[in-house]
Amino acid sequence: MKVLVLGMGNPILSDDGVGLFVTRALEGRIKGVDVVTCTLSGLSLLDVIVGYDKVFLADALILEGRSIGELRKLQDGEGTLHLFSSHGTDFFQLLQFGRELGLRMPEVGGVYGIEIGDHLSFSEELSLEMKEKTKSIIDRIVEDIKSNLILNGTFQSSLNMNTEP
């Protein structure tokens, strides 16, 4: 099984780059998976994901009333800052579009939204508050991905992703 862990984000907008940071930290922690970071969105992602059997994504998320660093597992129809756009196609629509074109599209193992606060500050560093929470976020994502892969394509995560670490 060919598995991709994909991190999305903007590397110069502080916490907006949390998906990139978290995904880079996963390198080597899950045997047999490819780890890729990407600043692209929309149709540009087709080139990145085509040919994989399963894909896991990590990206920044902004929802009202949530705490910075809160990890949430998203479903079809929910989106993060880069995987959903009112001006384009969201990630789940992109997968469907690829299938309709006859492309080998992956099954979604998980889309992890990581709650951020300010997404407009220019910085190549995560905020102090986010840095303090990344180890827990990384550990929970690794555990969830490993659990998913062990179940051989049947996702029944034992993690409650909707609680703050």
Q: pLDDT for 126-161, tens place per residue?
A: 999 999 999 999 999 999 999 999 875 433 343 444
The upper half-sphere exposure of residue 64, i.e. CA atoms within 13 Å in the direction of its Cβ, equals 0
- pLDDT digit string (tens) for 48-74? 999 999 999 999 988 878 899 999 998
Classify residue 163: in a domain, yes or no: no
Do residues 9 and 17 make contact, with C-beta atoms less than 8 angstroms apart? yes
Question: Tokens 């920044």 appear where?
Answer: 60
Write out the residue range of the structural domain in which residue 124 sits: 3-150
Classify residue 161: in a domain, yes or no: no
Query: Which residues have a Cβ under 8 Å from the Cβ of 74 and sit 6 or more positions away?
Result: 61, 80, 111, 112, 113
Share of the chain above pLDDT 90, in %: 62
- Between residues 90 and 153, the one the model is more confident about: 90
Classify residue 98: in a domain, yes or no: yes
State the pLDDT at residue 63: 83
Q: Is the pTM of this model over 0.75?
A: yes
The upper half-sphere exposure of residue 10, i.e. CA atoms within 13 Å in the direction of its Cβ, equals 17
> Which CATH number fits the domain that encloses residue 25?
3.40.50.1450
Tokens of 148: 């998913």
3-state secondary structure of 162: coil
State the pLDDT at residue 163: 40
Residue 155: closest CA among 69, 55, 60 = 55
State the pLDDT at residue 113: 93
Residue 91 pLDDT > 90, yes or no? Answer: no
Classify residue 159: in a domain, yes or no: no
